[in-house]
Copies of this chain bind each other. A is one copy, B any other.
Amino acid sequence: MKAVVTVMLKPGVLDPQGKAIGQALHTLGFANVGEVRAGKVIELELAETDPTAAKAQAEEMARKLLANTVIEGFRVEVAG
């Protein structure tokens, strides 16, 4: 069973990487780009068949390792 953990900086936390991407896009001529936020995505293959249990495990992994919960938030999606 596959779990996808998306980790983004919390709203209000300065995101220099996102800012740099936004400026680069403007330089390339993409004028209608507003705010840009950059984050991480981690795809996990889990030996677990129950979606609820898989989601709970992935959330624990996110809290313990994948995200810095002081400045980052995360969401978990589970797919077949």
> Which of A's residues lie within 8 Å of B, judged by CB?
6, 8, 18, 21, 24-25, 28, 30, 32-48, 57, 60-61, 64-66
Which residue of B32, B39, B60, B66 contacts A47 across the interface (Cβ within 8 Å)? B32
**Assembled-state Cα–Cα distance A38/B66 (Å):** 10
Q: List 19 A-B contacts (CB under 8 A).
A: A8-B43, A25-B44, A28-B64, A30-B60, A32-B46, A32-B47, A33-B44, A33-B46, A33-B61, A34-B44, A34-B45, A34-B46, A34-B47, A35-B45, A36-B43, A36-B44, A38-B43, A40-B40, A40-B41
Whether the pair B46, A42 counts as a contact (CB closer than 8 A) is no
* Stoichiometry, copies per complex: 2
